[in-house]
Structure 1
């Protein structure tokens, strides 16, 4: 109870100034209706009560009194009373992720059956199923990087476009991971909700490390698409340059589970977290009382009472 009272406030307190003219008008009307007021200064009060006609008790429930109550309730409602925080619609939403997929001839190697690229698509399908409802974007890169799809919750479209990618359709051969990560950062910045970057690659060219150091971000995870018995030193160096994390490919879904936990834990921006700090207005609870008071004006002769 004490915490509720301490948290009580008005979100638009300036509207409370509308109570001033209400009380002023009621006071002026009361003085104008007091016919005996001007006689009290010249006639003894004990004698005046016997001289006045119709000076009996008057009902306090008058149109003016009801108008004052309705005005007060309406002003308080518009001022926005609040004492409870409102849960954000984004509070339980999973942060978006931009998948940076390497599409080069090396990804067609069959040491990860059927190929490294096909295994990447399978892992992407598992990730989309595990993070159902989360927005996912897709970037393909080789010697150049290209935005295939901005973050969307339609996982079917993401997977279909990923299946359509092949080294033959890439305009330039090579390994330009640095520009691909920079493009992913711009996509997330334009999205306005933060997020993470997931790189799916088998190796990283050594000339990319300097560029990756300039685009470093702790929200980057690299899924190494190499069999466990192969050296992935270039992947580790790229992760250190990005201040990211490397997850090795596993035959089961252990790698995807680890990636999903990391993606759900990081990548939220401050403004999204701040969405949970909105206050829940309680002024609408006064609406039924306001409506009941308004019904009195449909009473015959009420205004003239």
Structure 2
């Protein structure tokens, strides 16, 4: 932080020597007693020199000069960090690779190492609201379980189906998991990190982890085992750190801190982002110094001038005294940091931050409308994501197409467009194969679903039939499938394709 400290507007610092000179001129100077009593009879001078021996250390001009100096520093724009991009996740993407082997079923951690690791991953993903997380599983092979997503429910559902039985080949190929994880992380615009959750590490993988370690995203190893379990070979891997699993959240705090530090480090290297002006921090000590000028016997003329320079609050709001010290955006930022995203969305005056806060607070329709006010590829992509989360898949396709019109080389929009088109194709085929409603009359209380594609007939469902009154999304979720069997089948197919 000290190495990055600088001033955004350093030209204002030229006022500091001016303030110093004025302070030296105005500050009362101590005069010799004989000069004060010159021309006065000695017996009268002795009576008049009351308090001549008293030594006064501080004067009002001292306090005011210091206040003006701090204001000058504030106006100069001290900074040591950059402004985060609200169109990107505000925490680093995280690739979680979970070791799924028979050794992970050891019950020295209750109920087992694997289940305890799954609980920890679920807690971590839930804490990372607004951030993207991907999940990989590895043993003798490595497989992507879930791509980068902000939805913790997706990862939670797949974690429940992971067991050594679904892995095609037994072993410890963490190097394969790392290679796949790096490909996944490269798709993200934000810098990220790797998290490996394991109980042991094959020394044969050390070379793969050590190659080009300085260029790779940092790696955090979370040891799933008792506190006495040591994995010494991890200490030789550069750009990595080891965290032992704990019964409380200390381990998760450590992981989050290391991931965030990676994000902030890369953010500082991003020349496209503005520096975050921290001058407002100096307002608090200045306010305290101004209070000292109200002491009895202190001159008030400089205090009046200083107070006239302080702008009055624009209007009174429900937050009361907060508006005297914090702007709407500053109050919104505090709400955002406290993960009160709905309140942040209400308070933000910055349109980009407002749109992003609406998105992560679940107000997808409002977020899509807010992103529609921008004419950038990033905003159009985020609008498409909001439409997808709001189940407006075709609108999402249009937004991604708009993003590609603005920037044809924008890979994120291209990838999301392919996913959105696949969703639309699946929904349309489901509609085409479903009951067209020809055998059922449409009454006033019936529900008619959108059929924009024109494939099949409009889906008509009687409101009185509780079992049938489901949207396509609800119908898909109601299908009773065994996640473990699904993952096992998919992993075996992937392993056979890789061996060919």
Which TM-score band applies after superposition, normalised by the shorter structure?
0.5 to 0.7
Q: Is the 8 A contact 1:212 1:238 kept in 2?
A: no
Q: Is the 8 A contact 1:96 1:194 kept in 2?
A: yes
Q: Give distance in 1, aligned partners of 2:129 and 2:267.
A: 23
Residue 121 of structure 1 deviates from its aligned partner by 0.8
Specify the alignment match of 2:345 in structure 1. Answer: none
String of CA shifts for 1:169-212, please: whole Å, max 9, x gaps: 11111000012112111111122322110000000012211222
String of CA shifts for 1:107-149, please: whole Å, max 9, x gaps: 1000011010101011112211221111000010000111111
2:233 is the alignment partner of 1:237:
yes
Residue 254 of structure 1 deviates from its aligned partner by 0.6
Q: Is the 8 A contact 2:135 2:144 kept in 1?
A: yes
Structure 2 runs not aligned, ≥5 long: 1-7, 13-81, 276-349, 351-500
Q: Is the 8 A contact 2:142 2:173 kept in 1?
A: yes
Q: Is the 8 A contact 2:88 2:190 kept in 1?
A: no
Q: Aligned-pair RMSD on alpha carbons?
A: 2.9
Specify the alignment match of 1:113 in structure 2. Answer: 110
Structure 1 stretch displaced more, 141-150 or 264-273:
264-273
The TM-score with structure 2 as length reference comes to 0.36
Q: Give distance in 2, aligned partners of 1:215 and 1:149.
A: 26
Specify the alignment match of 2:367 in structure 1. Answer: none
Judging changes above 3 Å, is the alpha-carbon distance between structure 1 residues 275 and 173 closer, same or farther for their aligned structure 2 residues?
Answer: same
Q: Identify, as 1 or 2, the structure richer in strand.
A: 1
String of CA shifts for 1:64-86, please: whole Å, max 9, x gaps: xxxxxxxxxxxxxxxxxxxxx98
Q: Give distance in 1, aligned partners of 2:255 and 2:105.
A: 23
Q: Give distance in 2, aligned partners of 1:240 and 1:275.
A: 35
Which structure has the larger Rg over C-alpha atoms? 1
Specify the alignment match of 2:249 in structure 1. Answer: 253
Q: Is the 8 A contact 2:93 2:188 kept in 1?
A: no
Q: Is the 8 A contact 1:90 1:272 kept in 2?
A: no
2:100 is the alignment partner of 1:100:
no
Residue 218 of structure 1 deviates from its aligned partner by 5.4
String of CA shifts for 1:219-248, please: whole Å, max 9, x gaps: 110001110123x13xx4235324300001
**One of 249, 255, 260 as aligned partner of 1:264:** 260
**Higher relative contact order (Cα pairs below 8 Å, separated by 6+ residues):** 1
Judging changes above 3 Å, is the alpha-carbon distance between structure 1 residues 86 and 116 closer, same or farther for their aligned structure 2 residues?
Answer: closer
Specify the alignment match of 1:186 in structure 2. Answer: 183
The TM-score with structure 1 as length reference comes to 0.58
Q: Give distance in 2, aligned partners of 1:215 and 1:139.
A: 22
Structure 1 runs not aligned, ≥5 long: 7-84, 281-305
